[in-house]
Amino acid sequence: MMWPGGVAIGLSLVLAAPVHALDCRLALVLALDVSGSMSGADDRLQRQGLAHALTAPAVVDAFPGGDPVALHILQWSGQHSQFPILDGWVMVDAAADLTAIAQVVANSQRLHGKQGTATGSALLHAAGALAAAPACSRQTVDVSSDGISNEGPEPGAIVHQPGPFDHVTVNALIVAPDPVEGKRENSQLVGWFIYNVLHGPEAFYILAFYFPDHERAMTHKLLRELEFPALS
C-alpha cells in the first residue's frame, strides 16, 4: 500500500483492520510544529530526529510487551493547518511496525510551514483524533514546538477546562531557541508550556536544545511515555 510521501509499505501495520476492536495500553498522538518560526533545515532535523528516535534500540524494546500501542502522528502550524503524517491510527506491536513508521516520517513533506503557531488548534485536532482512537488504557498527546502560540484558541483554556482532555495526558517536547541551558528566553518558553500546555498528573516536558538535539529529546520522551505507570 502507498503512504503519504509516496512510501510503499506492507500490510503489517494493519491499517485496514478494524482497530476499534483491538485493545491497547496507550493511544499516543505525536504533534509536530512545522510553523514559520523554523527553517526548512530545522524541519528536516525534526523529522529525522523522530524517525531515528522511533527506531532507537531502547525505544524498540519498550514498545512491545503485552497490549500494543496505537500511534498517530500529525504536523501542524496555523489555525487551519493540521495534517496527518500517518494515515490514521497505527497499531504497533513489533519492531517492523516502527521501522515502517519511521520510513514514512523521514520521507514526509512539510505542509503550510510559513504560517503562525496555533497550539490550541493543534490540541483540538489531537482531541478529535483521540475520539476516533482504539480502546486503550491511557491516552497521551505530545506537542513538539519551538514557540508560544500566536493565533487560534488559547491552549490553556482548552486543556484545563472540562471537556475532551478530562482523561488525557498532554506532554511537551520544547525546542529551546538557544543551545545554552539556563538562558532567560528558555525559562520563559518552558514556563509558558507548563501553564498552557501540560495537562494531567503525570504530565512532563522534555527540553531539546535546538533542533540537532531533537532526536535525543524525543527518544527520552518516548521512553517515559511508554513506561507504565508514567513518571511524574
For residue range 46-94, what is the model confidence (pLDDT) as tens digits? 999 999 999 999 999 998 766 899 999 999 999 999 999 998 999 998 9
Average pLDDT over residues 196-208: 94
pLDDT given for residue 181 in this prediction: 52
pLDDT given for residue 3 in this prediction: 36
Would the pLDDT of 228 be above 80? no
Residue of higher predicted confidence among 124 and 178: 124
pLDDT tier for residue 182 given thresholds of 50, 70 and 90: very low
Average confidence score pLDDT of the chain: 85
The beta strand positions in the chain, using DSSP E, are: 2-3, 7-8, 23-33, 69-76, 82-84, 90-92, 135-145, 169-176, 205-209
pLDDT given for residue 46 in this prediction: 93
Q: Determine contact, residues 156/194, Cβ cutoff 8 Å.
A: no
Residue 174's DSSP bridge partners are 145, 207
pLDDT tier for residue 184 given thresholds of 50, 70 and 90: low
Average pLDDT over residues 127-144: 95
Q: Determine contact, residues 198/172, Cβ cutoff 8 Å.
A: yes
Q: How far apart are CA 33 and CA 193, in angstroms?
A: 14
229 preceded by cis ω (within 30°)? Answer: yes
Average pLDDT over residues 165-174: 95
Angle at 138 between CA 196 and CA 71, to 5 degrees: 85
Would the pLDDT of 44 be above 70? yes
Query: Could you give the maximum distance between any two Cα atoms of the chain, in Å?
Result: 49
Architecture of domain 18-226: 3-Layer(aba) Sandwich (3.40)
CA distances from 1 to 8, 12, 107, 207, 222 (A): 5, 10, 15, 36, 27
Q: How far apart are CA 31 and CA 24, in angstroms?
A: 20
